[in-house]
Amino acid sequence: MTDHRHAEATAVAGVRKRLRFSAAIALVALLAAFMTALPGTSSDRAEAAAPGPRDTTAVLFSWTWNAIARECTDNLGPAGYGFVQTSPPQEHVQGSEWWTYYQPVSYKVESRLGTRAEFKAMVDTCHSAGVKVIADAVVNHMSGKSAGGTGWAGSTFQHYDYPGIYQSQDFHSCRRDIASYQNRWEVQECNLVNLSDLDTGSEYVRGRIAGYLNDLVGLGVDGFRIDAVKHISAADMQGIMSKVNDRARLYIVQEVIRANEPIQPEEYLSNGDIHEFAYARKLKEAFGSGTINWLISGAGIGPSWSGFLQNSNAAVFVDNHDTERNGETLSYRDGSSYDLAQIFTLAWNYGSPSIHSGYEFSNKEAGPALAGNGEVIDPVCGQNGWTCKHAQTSIENMVGFRTATYGSAISNKWDNGSNAIAFGRGDKGFVAINRGGGSIDRSWQTSLPAGSYCNVIVGTPTSSGCSAGGVVTVDSSGRFTASVGGNGALALHVGAKAGGSGGVDPGPGTGASMTVFYSTSKGWSGYNMHYRIGSGPWTAAPGVGMTAACTGWVSKTIDLGTASGITAAFNNGSGTWDNNNGADYVVTGQVVTVNNGAVGSTNPCGTPSSSTTTVYYATSWSSANIHYRVGDGAWTQPPGVGMMNACAGWKSKSIDLGSASSITAAFNDDSGTWDNHGGQDYTIGAGSVKVANGTVTAGNPCS
């Protein structure tokens, strides 16, 4: 649901949720002095930022619970999506329109998308596929039907009376539509297009809302997209969220649209991430006009631009269910322009992206295809107008690109001054995008290792090469020659190397192997590893059995072929999983150890040929890099190498010391903020070492 004013002055019973204000709105940077005076303002990043590298959300708008469960298994999990976002699951008003979900009448988990049991089964199935579930939460209001009625699950209601839940005193007293968005009180206490506005300042109301969210948490959801947050004061939102269970593990993203108004997104950062609508508007301006080079000029689109959230707070998108209807952003109707914007979003390093996937429509009020009883027909790609953008080859494969390049800085930028751009992600990936009508044929400079790659925009690796598009050969200097067609793209990454069809590959050759050691400290009766090699298919759950290696460890050796690493999770064969808190373990090297979330590279069952340091860094950053040198050797290229989630509050990285006794290191958040120990850098020795608040001590904080 948008949180902007309706284009019409009147509201009627059964009115659609809202038309987004379609006039252009100015983006303004907030003055620091002004922000400190606003309630609930926090300069801290969102505490529950989407974890990397699996930080991409598939928004399956209007999909049934049964269909989402199928999609998690068949597409989302194998593609590397970290999250799936559902439409609001609570009981809603009856009707065929798309906006019925956004007019609640009770907090029963029963809707035209499925039953409570089906919702629970969907959550469990998605978890088994390695995908977390975010529920769209409508908590600002109830229905907009002045005459009342009967909800989907049979609950009767009046405009300001919902038996057993809310009565008249539980709603704000304004009870008219918002007249001025320059008036904070009106925006947060008057009705939005006749939707009955809850008194979220009431402890009773807060408790009711939190009770609903806690019910969903109990069903296993991993977070919420919270609708219309601008219409709830920051203090009220904090009051609600303070009552939500298991808060530390939940990913929260909020709809707060930035405009030239008193209420600004920064007020809500203490609750979680914010959807950065300015990003989507800029993508429409660029890809809609065909001039895209300015998106990567200088630091490029992101936190350095006026009015943009910091990287760790931003949730970005090309379109959503509102903007695809009101024309504020690109949509599926824009064809290749839309697809190229999605490719750019997944390749660029700003924010946590979501991919909207809904259905085609000619009437913007129209809902999805319904059965005779009013239930949504289970979506099937290619039927009933479902766009299935999340599963489109060029978009789905770019999710793998994002995972492979996570934490790598932008590098090797190029543009033609107008409609074509290219850039790398360090030595992990490279993308070229051509918004022009003619093809571009040239040699491209990258930082990729030499080797044979597949263009994941069109294909994936096979045992003999690539499934489509041919093999792209990168030479020892990091250059390759290729043609990028009009309104097309090319993307290469280290997780999608061709299967042996020519070219030079300095990485693991055919037959190269990785041995994964997993600690038995959990005391499971059995240990399985569920994995995929590079960007290939996943093993069938629960994976393959691991065998005893030495006291305290089990192991499995995997033939990597031409891939450089694997993505893996572990389980006991009976439904208990260790999937790195939903991020999975993305690992490379000949030897990998996993022990209570900490990843190392020293064989625990034999005498290592060299010593290792495993560095644990205490931080609230959503992503962290370690920039280091071993002994007196060369420094890594800034910003360094990405650190993995180890356990709550800690990132880790294992580094082979060779014959050296220590490393010199500094840390950064991938957005320009550094911790270099007051300019002295850190000296870190062998073994497990903790770096916290400027102090270096021995030990593993996650054991």
pLDDT, position 279: 98
Contact 624, 651 (CB under 8 A): yes
**Start-to-end CA span in the chain (Å):** 43
What CATH code is assigned to 512-600? 2.60.40.10
Q: Of the candidates 657, 653, 629, 655, which has an alpha carbon nearest to the alpha carbon of residue 643?
A: 653
Highest mean pLDDT among 4-18, 298-312, 540-554, 617-631: 298-312
Residue type, 458: V
pLDDT, position 45: 33
Q: Which residue has the tokens 């190397």?
A: 497
Highest mean pLDDT among 337-351, 556-570, 611-625: 337-351
Q: pLDDT band at 52, cuts 50/70/90?
A: low
- Share above pLDDT 90 across residues of the chain, in percent, rounded to a whole number: 65
Q: What is the CA radius of gyration of the chain?
A: 25
CA dist 104 and 612 (Å) reads 56
- Computed over every residue of the chain, the mean pLDDT equals 87
Neighbours of 58 (CB within 10 A): 29
pLDDT, position 289: 96
Q: Of the candidates 447, 430, 443, which has an alpha carbon nearest to the alpha carbon of residue 491?
A: 430
Q: Of the candidates 338, 369, 336, 376, which has an alpha carbon nearest to the alpha carbon of residue 355?
A: 338
Average pLDDT value for residue range 598-625? 77
pLDDT, position 169: 98
pLDDT of residue 247 exceeding 50, the answer is yes
Average pLDDT value for residue range 427-450? 95
Residue of 3, 236, 255, 322 marked active site: 255
pLDDT, position 35: 36
pLDDT tens column, 196-234: 999 999 999 999 999 999 999 999 999 999 999 999 999
pLDDT, position 542: 81
Average pLDDT value for residue range 661-689? 88
The CATH class given to the 410-493 domain equals mainly beta
pLDDT of residue 646 exceeding 90, the answer is no
- Share above pLDDT 70 across residues of the chain, in percent, rounded to a whole number: 89
Establish whether 285 is a catalytic residue: no
pLDDT, position 436: 95
Contact 308, 364 (CB under 8 A): no
Least confident of 177-181, 352-356, 464-468, 483-487: 464-468
CA dist 76 and 390 (Å) reads 8
Average pLDDT value for residue range 597-609? 70
Residue of 177, 189, 197, 227 marked active site: 227
Average pLDDT value for residue range 84-99? 98
Least confident of 286-290, 433-437, 667-671, 697-701: 697-701
Peptide bond into 639 cis (omega under 30): yes
Looking at domain 57-138+201-402, which of 3.30.1450.10, 3.90.1530.30, 3.20.20.80, 3.40.50.2300 is its CATH number? 3.20.20.80
pLDDT, position 123: 96
Q: What is the DSSP letter of 338?
A: H
Q: pLDDT band at 592, cuts 50/70/90?
A: confident
Least confident of 32-41, 194-203, 214-223, 623-632: 32-41
CA dist 24 and 47 (Å) reads 32
**How many CA atoms does the CB half-sphere of 529 hold within 13 Å?**
24
Equal fold, 410-493 vs 611-698: yes
Average pLDDT value for residue range 305-313? 94
Boundaries of every domain in the chain: 57-138+201-402, 410-493, 512-600, 611-698
Contact 369, 385 (CB under 8 A): yes
pLDDT, position 1: 58
pLDDT of residue 46 exceeding 80, the answer is no
Average pLDDT value for residue range 506-533? 74
pLDDT, position 543: 80
Neighbours of 43 (CB within 10 A): 11
Residue type, 696: V
CA dist 618 and 444 (Å) reads 39
Ordered DSSP codes for 138-196: --SB----TT-EEBTTS-EEBTTBBTTTB-GGGB-S--SB---TT-HHHHHHSBBTTB-
pLDDT of residue 47 exceeding 60, the answer is no
Average pLDDT value for residue range 561-586? 85
The whole-model pTM stands at 0.69
pLDDT, position 248: 84
Least confident of 607-616, 662-671, 694-703: 607-616
pLDDT, position 50: 63
pLDDT, position 340: 98
Q: Tell me, which fold does domain 611-698 have in CATH?
A: Immunoglobulin-like (2.60.40)
pLDDT, position 557: 78
Establish whether 273 is a catalytic residue: no
pLDDT, position 558: 82
pLDDT, position 545: 81
Q: What is the DSSP letter of 637?
A: P
Q: What is the DSSP letter of 7?
A: S
Kind plus residue range of the DSSP H or E element containing 119: helix 116-128
Q: pLDDT band at 695, cuts 50/70/90?
A: confident
pLDDT, position 606: 66
Which residues are CB-contacts of 14 (< 8 A; sequence separation ≥ 6)? 93, 95, 144, 145
Q: pLDDT band at 489, cuts 50/70/90?
A: very high
CA dist 592 and 597 (Å) reads 12
